[in-house]
Amino acid sequence: MKINDEMLIRKATVEDVRSVHELIQPFVQEGRLLPRTLGELYSRVRDFHVCDRGNGKIVGCCGLRVMGEDLAEIFSLAVMKSEQGKGIGRALIKACVNEAKKLKVSRVFVLTYEQRLFERIGFKVVDKNIFPQKIWEDCLKCSKFPNCDEVALLLSLK
């Protein structure tokens, strides 16, 4: 999916993993994203979409992880600060939602600080406690647990 003449949203490849790792690091340091090891990113490379500036420069990424028969999670949404405000985040989210639809997943959720961005796409605020599988899988590793200040949002695809 093209954003403009320069930027393309596409599935990530193993060649993108180091760039994705570098891209998310500033957001990890700010406490806005969970840390991801290179090994974890390589094992989840098929979960990611990236925004390629056209010269191989990765300026955005977003992952979609299927968590069960009817639920998937959007995770690790990051856009290079100098590229924010250009529709990249929105395009990455839509790519993940479209993939969820193709997989016949009925609901997509996210834990985020970017509430308005997701609401503009149709996500609705929900109580994060309705996602116990997320809490046990990722949240226990977070330095903010159990005092998470992220907002949970859900999009129904049916």
Q: Say what the pLDDT of residue 23 is.
A: 97
The closest alpha carbon to 33, from 90, 72, 74, 68, belongs to 74
Asked, for residue 3, whether it belongs to a domain, the answer is no
Domain that holds residue 20: 8-156
Residue 18 lies in a domain: yes
Specify if 47 maps to a domain. Answer: yes
| Residue 68, beta-bridge partner list | 71
Q: What is the pLDDT of residue 4?
A: 63
- CATH number for the domain harbouring residue 81: 3.40.630.30
In a domain, 96, yes or no: yes
Give φ, ψ of 81 to 5 degrees. Answer: -55, -40
User: Collapsing DSSP states into helix, strand and coil, what is residue 11?
Assistant: strand
58 in a structural domain: yes
The domain total for the chain is 1
Distance of CA 5 to the CA centre of its chain: 24
Task: Please name the helix (run of DSSP H) or strand (run of DSSP E) that holds residue 27, with its range, or none.
Answer: helix 17-29
In a domain, 64, yes or no: yes
Averaged over successive runs of 10 residues, the pLDDT of the chain (158 residues) comes to 75 96 95 90 97 89 93 95 93 96 95 93 90 58 63 92
**pTM of the shown model:** 0.89
